[in-house]
Amino acid sequence: MYSIITRALKDKKSSLIIFCAAGILLLVLYIALFPSIQEQSSQMAKMFDSYPKAMLKILNIEDLNFSTIEKFLAIEQYSFTWPLLIIFLAISFSGSLVRDIERGTIDFVLTRPISRMRLYVGRVLASLSAVLMFSVASILSTIPIAAIAGIDFIAGNHFKMVIVGFSFGAAIVGLASLAGALYSERGKTYLVTGGVLILMYVFNIIAKLKDGLSGLQYFSLFHYLDAGSVLARGIMSWSAVFALLYFAVITIIAGALIFQKRDIYAAA
């Protein structure tokens, strides 16, 4: 099992480094901009007041401003850019088995003295390891960068964000792994995973705009990634974390059972 995990991580080491570097570089950019933005915090708050309330609900920034680095990052980094990075990372790592099928190397992989279940679980654990490393690197780097820049920060809030961020990434890994167990082509796997995530994102938007449809938010993974509460207010919902991890476990188990029983052949 250990060799499967390390091999999968080594195969995509460059991708992992690039994603982590991108997350850290974005932090450097935003933290460098923060002092000048903070000086205009009151003006920015007034600007937000003039925005349509629906837009603020969609961005989950109804009562946030730029007075602290946590509030600033919750809006600039974690409302769109960071989720997009971890989604691409999780899908990229979770598609390794489908990639073997397309390349015609799956037959060789399955001849090794390991069961299908161990192979599947090993690849999933490698994906989860990559998500964890990215979460730690791209979130906790805020602490030393802000310290060097002389900016006040609340370290505990960033550690809480790592827990929520990893849980969100784990849910994406589960969804992508399930899609990978169902299909033998990366195109279909990525299309299904992306389609489900887009549908979930739409559900989350509709739930915020229509009071009568607010229940749709519970069917969206994006609802549970509430950076505004975690970073800006230091409030981490354990129920949200458990919901994300529950989704991850269910989809990973379902994918493992499907991969164990399905007919697998290398693509021509």
- Encode pLDDT of 183-239 as tens digits: 877 888 899 999 999 999 999 889 888 878 888 999 999 999 989 899 988 999 999
What is the C-alpha to C-alpha distance for residues 182 and 156, in angstroms, rounded to an integer? 40
SS3 category, 50: helix
d(CA 140, CA 136): 5
Contact criterion met (CB below 8 Å) for 141 and 21:
no
Largest CA distance in the chain: 65
DSSP string, 56-90: HHHHT-TT--SSSHHHHHHHHTTTTHHHHHHHHHH
46 contacts: CB under 8 Å, gap ≥ 6: none
pLDDT(266) > 60? no
Mean of pLDDT over the chain: 86
CA angle in degrees (0–180, nearest 5) for 64-70-73: 85
State how far the Cα of 9 lies from the Cα of 123, in Å rounded to an integer: 9
Residue 55 falls within a domain, yes or no? no
Residue 206 domain flag: yes
Beta-carbon contacts of 116 under 8 Å, excluding residues fewer than 6 positions away, are 110, 259, 260
Q: How many CB atoms lie within 10 A of CB 179?
A: 25
Domain count, the chain: 1
Domain assignment present for residue 58? The answer is: no
Q: What is the pLDDT of residue 90?
A: 94
Is the pTM of the predicted complex or chain greater than 0.85? yes
Q: Which helix (H) or strand (E) holds 16?
A: helix 13-39
DSSP state of 213: G
pLDDT above 70 covers what percent of the chain? 82
Mean pLDDT confidence for 235-250: 96
Distance separating alpha carbons of residues 46 and 195, to the nearest angstrom: 37
Domain coverage including residue 236: 2-34+69-261
pLDDT digits (tens, 9 = 90+) for 47-98: 666 655 655 666 655 555 678 899 899 988 998 899 999 999 999 988 777 7
Residue 168 resides in a domain: yes
Give the list of residues 6+ apart from residue 202 with CB closer than 8 angstroms, or none: none
Judge whether 149 lies within some domain: yes
- Look at 102-111, 146-155, 256-265 and tell me which has the smallest mean pLDDT: 102-111
Give domain status of residue 155, yes or no: yes
pLDDT of 32: 94
Query: Quick one: pLDDT at residue 67?
Result: 81
